[in-house]
Structure 1
Amino acid sequence: MKTANLAIVFTDIQGFTERTSRQTLEENQRLLRVHHELLTPVFKAFGGRIIKSIGDAFLVTFESPTQAVLSGMAIQDRLWQHNRSVLEAERLDVRVAINVGEVRVESNDVFGEPVNIASRVESIAEPGEVFFTEAVYLSMNKAEVPSQEVGSFELKGIPGKIRVFRVPRAPYRVEVPAVVHVAPGSAGPLPQEAPPFGNLALSRMPSSALVSGPDLAATAAALGSRAATVGGRLVERTRTALQSVKTVPRPSALAARKLAVGGGVLALVLGIGFVLRDSPAEDAIEAVAKASSTREKLELVQAAEKLISQEKAPGERAWLHGQLAEALEAPGQAVGFYRSGVKAGHGDSEDRLIELLEHPECRVRVNAADALGDLKLASARGELEDLAEDGGPGEDSGLFGCDSRKAAKKALERLGR
């Protein structure tokens, strides 16, 4: 029998069981898929080993309790960013609980009282929080992870009381540049806020570890804390970048759609709006797309966000935020912004949302189809019928697969085929 001293992490989605009773099977599968895409890269980036994933729950082990707590903080900050860019029904509120101790390691599972205690702590943890036991508190590096005692609890099946701690909310040591965001369905920008744990952990992750997830705006938020140059130097760099770009007039919506289809494999062409511009905000968005380094890109994002926030028309503002999301290679998030633009009567947002039905990423096509179905856009009928019949790259109808054909059929049902 093999034993090891490991940190045990349990996570689950708040209210998942109740949600499954009022959502379709496809909606539940999509929720779990997004949940896995968001959390898995974070666990791996901090050295976690995913032991099992059952429905909405993860069981993960770490050799370092400090890394385990940091992973929990990174998860909550990433989910905070994700939740700001999706509809209320698509929010993910997760509980994180951590314990450490000697466990039995058998095949692909772990057993023992430390596992049971971690599970019990999860049952009292609050969504959006990172709870951990006194054993973790005593063994972790306190210089890296802030902590605050919650109290002592009697846990079912566990003798004695267990002292429980949590990671307090920021600010503590981290200063994060505030960025204005527009929430899908809202009339304007949200107040400037910082994520719950100040990106203290998320900023340590390499950008490549976040690029595979569905919400790449989290990458910008995470790495934003690394951007050292703001104010006058930022404005000057933005101006220099813009001077190298030749402005061309924005074409008609139909011409833009044809151009998007013709250059489907190129991210910059797929963005359309940030290669065809007629406003300072669109110039700034193109500068973001053309940035040669992550640091430069993130600095330019702040300038673009500022210009977008000055746009008075809600529809145009939502459109520009969608274009910026695409410039950051986050088309999934862009869908939510275009949806807001359509609700505000913005024609370009409607056209772009329809164009995204031909996106090479299956998940983007599914999101676009869902949005068009919810909006009941009759103008999308032809493209939805094509997608329902032909599908696209990356189709997989398995449990955690992606099926844009089915999403298109469902959207057509909402349109009243």
Structure 2
Amino acid sequence: MPAAGDPGEEGPTMFHPSPDLRSAKSASRTVLAVRLAWNAPSEPGAARPTPAELARDVVMAYGGRVVTSTPESLLAELESPTDTLQCAAALHDRFALERSESGLAVAVRAAVAAGEVLRQGRFLIGEAVGHANELVEMAAPGEVLFTQSVCLGMTRGEVTWEPHPGPAPEIGQPVHRLLAQPGAAVPALPFGGSSLARSRAGALGRALRRSGPLALAGTRAVARGTAEAGRRLSSLPRGQKVAAAVILATVLGTAWLVGTTRQAASIESALEKARPDEALRLADAWFGDSSGRPEARAWQGRVLADLDRLDEARERLGQALEREPGLSSREGIARGLVRTLDESGADRALLLKHRSSALERALLEATLSERYWMRWNSVAVLEKYGLGDRVDRVGIRLLDLQHAGSCGTRIRAAQELGKLGDRRALPALRDAQEKGFPGAFCNLQSAARDAIALIEP
């Protein structure tokens, strides 16, 4: 199996000798392979980041880990197939912007594969690595190819694709080609620019720093900059207006995203410090200052959910999502939506209507929460999504066995763990057999003993 390690900037090779695999850890990951080819701008200007540095920025903005990087290539791993495809789209759009801005023309080829990989330090080994590297060599400049395993794991409502029209590679599964993404923010870009916006300014970190006062100014300064830019744009020759408009839209969008991210981060920080009243004050102030922006309304709902004011939280979140459905793709908002499930008979309609990869991740995380109703309602939503096979059934039943407030729930958990037959349950079952259910008469000890007998007869 191919092994990829990080050779820094030593040369174009992507592979190193196989590492010692005795301590390697297996994980299900999505692998992104990228090839870069470029020509320098005809007129040298100010020092700019290299194509490899720009590519790293985008990958890191999507939460990816760069495994291998050379001046002409990059290999990265990410958790979500959807995020990986959108990261690949953002790479193409980012380099299209760079060409408009600096004249640096970069031809990008990308490929995505998914599967079990072995991780040993800086090395990444597995079939998905080989498939990604094979497909990226097949890809034409401007293309993103991906395997059927990626297609099966992605959120289809967030991705547009078609079967790959070229010759089929010998990798044992169909291959697809990514198309321009839904909700195009800048149609002039190869993939529409929507993936750039979803990177929430991280992928444009270097561009933001170069934008200086415009990108970091307050609302009034941005408005003044917009007016001045509009006047200058109108005076440009027709052939330059499209490129300039793309750059202006991206810089202004980045400035707005930075302000939005700062507000959201302040609220999230207050929640993490167990200061929900302060978080609500910040959210209310943001809503007032922003003339009722949907995202500010959604963050009000997020905080109200943490305060266990679930009906009010659902109302605020529903109002925000009605106006801006894409908000369910924001990690903080997704957590707020999941938090509304923390009661018997919780209304799941918002989560079923506004599915996103961020919401899927938040739901999977909630299945391992000690909050009983949030845990089981999250399982119910994931099953409606068709993702029931990704739920850790043993982990959920262990939480029931150890934390449920009723004897009956703990007994059912012990019985189910016995049927599942997973040896991970043995320590908790032995503890239940020894201690029983605290403070009440309960036949938990007998149920735990029977479950242990099923697992190790």
Q: TM-score, normalised by structure 1?
A: 0.46
More contact order relative to length (CA 8 Å, sep ≥ 6): 1
Q: Hey, which of these two has a bigger chunk of helix by percent?
A: 2
Q: TM-score, normalised by structure 2?
A: 0.42
Say which one has the larger Rg. Answer: 2
